[in-house]
Structure 1
Amino acid sequence: MEYQALYRAFRPQTFEDVVGQKHVTKTLRNAIVRDKESHAYLFSGPRGTGKTSIAKIFAKALNCRFGSGGEPCNECDICMSITDGSANDVIEIDAASNNGVDEIRNIREKVKYAPSEARYKVYIIDEVHMLTTGAFNALLKTLEEPPGHAIFILATTEPHKIPATIISRCQRFDFKAIELNEIVSRLEYVARSESLEYDKDAIEYIARTSEGGMRDALSIMDQVIAYSNDVITLEDAVMITGGIRSEELNEWLKLIDHRDSREAFMKYHQFIEEGKDPTRLVHELVYYIRDIILMKHAGEMDDDIAFAHTEDKVLYEMIDVLNDAMVMMRFSVNTSVHLEVVIVKLIQVLNNNDRSIEPQAMDLSHIEQKLAELDKKLSSQQQVSATPAPEPQNRSVNQSSKGFSLRQIEKVLDHANKEDLVKLKDDWPKVYQHVEEKGLQALRSLIKDSEPVAASDTHVLLKFNSDVHSDLINKDEKKRQELEAVIPSIIGKEVTVVGVPDSSWLQVRHDYIQEKKASKQKQSAGDDKKPSDVAKEIFGSDVVETRS
């Protein structure tokens, strides 16, 4: 007897032999046992998942004279003739090559005749979505008023192309991709039946490569057997499918993880020279990153694995990049170019994540708020137990330890005027907006709670809600210079920025006014300007309140 391909030799002959699709086989068996067969069925699902095989088993079970429990005996003349395709009453039609109106009209003419040998006439129309609109209309009439001895089984991989009027007249069964462990078990059974030696890893690799299709798995296994002289090894399976071993894939992805684009490109071109398929490589990458996510959540991650310390959201972005590439590669002439672009995009995703860490690290507003509250509590406790106030020069030193210099603040207030303050207050939102447009995220976070409280031709005094931010603008020269570089483009003059915390500003302003008052009292009796007038000149009448 001539050799038969494995997917033909091991095609299931009973419902019990079918791998997966239990929801289909159980329903059809029960329908036969209870004599509640429908006149039309629609089998839809991925390729190689058993649609045509189950249709033929169903045809045998319907017509078998000695079947039991909804299963065919596979020994009577009717079962054997259906198995070898010689039964006159079971008609298989390929709609891809017989998709016209004339073919369907021919079925309509013949369906009215009773079966010659069997109990039912069974029409199995494969790839039914390929029928033309006219052919569907001709088939619709037959499905509306079928003879009692006729049963139609429509099989398709694309049910969305079938008119709703056809689907509504059928019992629809959606076939699912077969689970990995079920394919592995079936392949092991086939290997034992054929007395073949095999590696467990090779069988699992073939099952994963088949993507849920049993026919594809058996076809790949057939190729490996022919290549390896009846010994199924992982190396041979990888060679036949154009895939890549997990160790090599890990080394390649480590180069991407380390942002070494040059070496990653060289490794990729090495794979291409070895005959690897770019489309298969993209599939391998998706499965690899999927496995990394699963291992991370299962607590089985090894530090030697690429992307072991990469965040989940970054891995999800990488899978999105790979999925987009797979779609584009289906319609591309040069698939190799798309995978080269994928390497660059994966490195870009990693780099974008690295840059996003900096602003997040600077956004510590909730921590700074707690620090400010603690600072206020400490200040209040110190004021209760404090000794009498020291001299002004000593106070300047003490205040500087809190993050600001009273001497610097006094320099601003000595030359402050209301006009510059009003102008700066009006234009301060523009400064914030300009910082945001220039992408200075750290500076934006720093000045988001600031407010000008005094200004002159050369200086600006900013009040900060956070003591930490005030301390930072006074001590971090780089941040201060960034802000001083932005302000002139808004208000038209170069200024020096000085910071003061909100928790200390009222006390600083009060002490400054009192010092000015004492200084004025020492002046000649002819100078009758009041201290309140001095304060109004600096801060404006809307800020200063005069009390008698």
Structure 2
Amino acid sequence: MSYTALYRKWRPSSFSDVKGQDHIVQTLKNQIVSGRIGHAYLFCGTRGTGKTSIAKIFAKAVNCEQPMDGSPCGECRTCKNIAAGASLNVVEIDAASNNGVENIREIREEVQYPPTEGRYRVYIIDEVHMLSTGAFNALLKTLEEPPSYVIFILATTEVQKIPVTVLSRCQRYDFKRITVETIVEHLKGLLETEQTQVEERALTYIARSADGALRDALSLLDQCIAFHYGEPLTYDLVLDVLGAVDITVFGNMFRAVAENRTRDCILALEEMVIQGRELGQFVIDFIWYLRNLLLLKSVDDPGGLLDMSAENQSILKEDSRLADQETLLRYIRVFSDLSNQLRYASQKRVLIEVALIKLTRPQMEQNLDSILQRILVMEKMLEEGVVMAPSAGTEPSKETASAPADREMTPAERITLPKGQLEDLNLIRSEWNKIIRELGGPIRASFRDTVVEPAGESCLTIVFSDQSNYMIGSRESTIAEIQGYVEDHYQKSIAFKARLRSGGERLDTIYVSDEELKANILMDITIED
């Protein structure tokens, strides 16, 4: 016998099996008991919350030969036929693939005939928002005045796309996201029946990852059990299967960010990449971690809101002392923007690295919360008696200040280059800002304040002044992207290298050709014997 997925095997067959939608279940049962059954229903809500399951149970209940307190008995011939999909009186239609006017016309023709068994013909139209405008218009009249034996149940995840004319003809029921506690209790019960051992921490993480969708939770659980078949399902195994990260990693990452340790942040991300962790999931979970920190600082008794063990709460309390509420809000904003960018990004790792650099270097951003954080950092340094050196580009650095005064007056060095190398250098230098601007994304952010220097025949060096930017810009993939752009747009095959500027190094060297050097010498040259 073939294996049946958990979400299909454990699909509710009666109202009592439905979890987390008590307000809808009770209303529908009352309608059946009192005989006040409507002709059109609209079930709205996110995926996996029970819309189609309740629609099928309702179809069985209105046709059941021996209903019990508004629920189908599940034993009569009508209930069994509907459960097996063999009843002609319950028609389930997928509007995503049957969204034309012709499909609705078929329904209008069918509703003229009364049911062959039971009392009602029930039409369940799933993802009804996918119907075309013409199909909606064709459905309106039938939806408003159907025969007494016809019930329409429309299900959708995007209610805002339903025309108002349709909404006004239906009883609307909004399905809630199912709570983590409800999902965990349900998973516990079915795993006892399945005779599978599992840690409660593992179930809690699965339930939270499902984001309120019970079907998603069952699919994730199925995946984890299959990967570690025959073993007790532990929290670490779930993290391994789902590509997620343990909470201690978030703590280490947060402390590195709060203490402006950019290198440690990049290395921690590198370790996650090596372990094969899902970077998109890391971003989502790190936002959740920051949210917990913010709640801890903002709410008097956040225990019931944090959804974690007492041990982890004590660790979280220690971490919360490293940042104030405004700083946490900035962290959440940066990572929330990042989460939206990652959906369609091909270079997820680079985008995350840029976001981490933004968190540790608030001077990279010009918005208000970044400026406030920079002021707080300076105040803290002043309190500790740390003398702050002026930033590059405003005042001379420490090396420059300690250098002899006449060094400022030393003219730039002139170096001669072969004509071909000089042409390549001048071309790229003149177009450099345009190149990094059009490449955009991480390159545009990381290649600011870079200088292009010659490095031999058909080769140039990109000189970085910032260590963090150098770590991103020196990657082979980044260099290859620049080389490809230059070759496509300038028909030049130029190799690029990257290096970090050494302390005190000047980057104002003037490169000239032999002819230019001779033309600029304003004296006669005599050769002595």
Distance 1:162 1:309, change over 3 A: same
Cα distance between partner residues in 1 of 2:227 and 2:376: 51
Q: Which residue of 2 aligns with 1:161?
A: 161
Cα distance between partner residues in 2 of 1:221 and 1:139: 40
Cα distance between partner residues in 2 of 1:333 and 1:140: 44
Q: Which residue of 2 aligns with 1:49?
A: 49
Kindly indicate whether residue 291 of structure 2 is the aligned counterpart of residue 267 of structure 1: no
SS at match of 2:19: coil
Contact 1:257 1:307 in 2 (8 A): no
Give the drift of 1:301.
4.6
Match of 2:344 among 321, 327, 331: 331
Give the drift of 1:335.
2.8
Name the amino acid aligned to 1:226.
A
Q: Which residue of 1 aligns with 2:521?
A: none
Q: List aligned pairs for 1:536-547, cutoff 5 A.
A: none
Distance 1:358 1:216, change over 3 A: closer
Cα distance between partner residues in 1 of 2:344 and 2:148: 46
Q: Which residue of 2 aligns with 1:240?
A: 241
Give the drift of 1:240.
1.5
SS at match of 2:116: coil
Give the drift of 1:323.
1.9
Q: Which residue of 2 aligns with 1:322?
A: 335
Give the drift of 1:104.
0.8
Cα distance between partner residues in 2 of 1:269 and 1:197: 33
Cα distance between partner residues in 1 of 2:107 and 2:352: 49
Give the drift of 1:94.
0.5
Larger relative helix fraction: 1
Name the amino acid aligned to 1:36.
R
Kindly indicate whether residue 283 of structure 2 is the aligned counterpart of residue 282 of structure 1: yes
Distance 1:358 1:96, change over 3 A: closer
Q: Which residue of 1 aligns with 2:128?
A: 128
Cα distance between partner residues in 1 of 2:130 and 2:348: 28
Match of 1:355 among 365, 371, 374: 374
Q: Which residue of 1 aligns with 2:99?
A: 99
Structure whose CA Rg is larger: 1
Cα distance between partner residues in 2 of 1:148 and 1:92: 19
Name the amino acid aligned to 1:322.
F
Contact 1:126 1:156 in 2 (8 A): yes
Q: List aligned pairs for 1:220-239, cutoff 5 A.
A: 220-230=220-230, 231-239=232-240
Cα distance between partner residues in 1 of 2:96 and 2:173: 21
Cα distance between partner residues in 1 of 2:161 and 2:44: 11
Q: Give the number of equivalent residue pairs.
A: 363
Q: Which residue of 2 aligns with 1:310?
A: 323
CA deviation profile, 1:5-28 (whole Å, cap 9, x unmatched): 000111111111111011111111
Contact 1:42 1:173 in 2 (8 A): yes
Give the drift of 1:347.
2.2
Name the amino acid aligned to 2:337.
D
Name the amino acid aligned to 1:281.
F
Distance 1:261 1:131, change over 3 A: same
Q: Which residue of 2 aligns with 1:256?
A: 257
Contact 2:327 2:373 in 1 (8 A): no
SS at match of 1:66: coil
Q: Which residue of 2 aligns with 1:214?
A: 214
Contact 1:44 1:174 in 2 (8 A): yes
Give the drift of 1:289.
1.2
The farther-off stretch of 84-93 and 322-331 is 322-331
Distance 1:303 1:77, change over 3 A: closer
CA deviation profile, 1:454-503 (whole Å, cap 9, x unmatched): xxxxxxxxxxxxxxxxxxxxxxxxxxxxxxxxxxxxxxxxxxxxxxxxxx
Cα distance between partner residues in 1 of 2:259 and 2:153: 55
Cα distance between partner residues in 1 of 2:113 and 2:349: 57
Contact 1:295 1:301 in 2 (8 A): no
Distance 1:119 1:348, change over 3 A: farther
Cα distance between partner residues in 2 of 1:70 and 1:284: 42
Cα distance between partner residues in 1 of 2:73 and 2:255: 56
SS at match of 1:198: coil
Q: TM-score, normalised by structure 2?
A: 0.66
> Structure 2 unaligned runs (5+)?
303-312, 363-368, 381-393, 395-529
Kindly indicate whether residue 343 of structure 2 is the aligned counterpart of residue 343 of structure 1: no
CA deviation profile, 1:40-79 (whole Å, cap 9, x unmatched): 1111111001000010011111111111111111111111
CA deviation profile, 1:255-292 (whole Å, cap 9, x unmatched): 21221111211211221222211211111011111222
Give the drift of 1:316.
2.1
Q: List aligned pairs for 1:461-480, cutoff 5 A.
A: none
Cα distance between partner residues in 2 of 1:304 and 1:42: 45
Distance 1:65 1:190, change over 3 A: same
Q: Which residue of 2 aligns with 1:108?
A: 108
Q: TM-score, normalised by structure 1?
A: 0.63
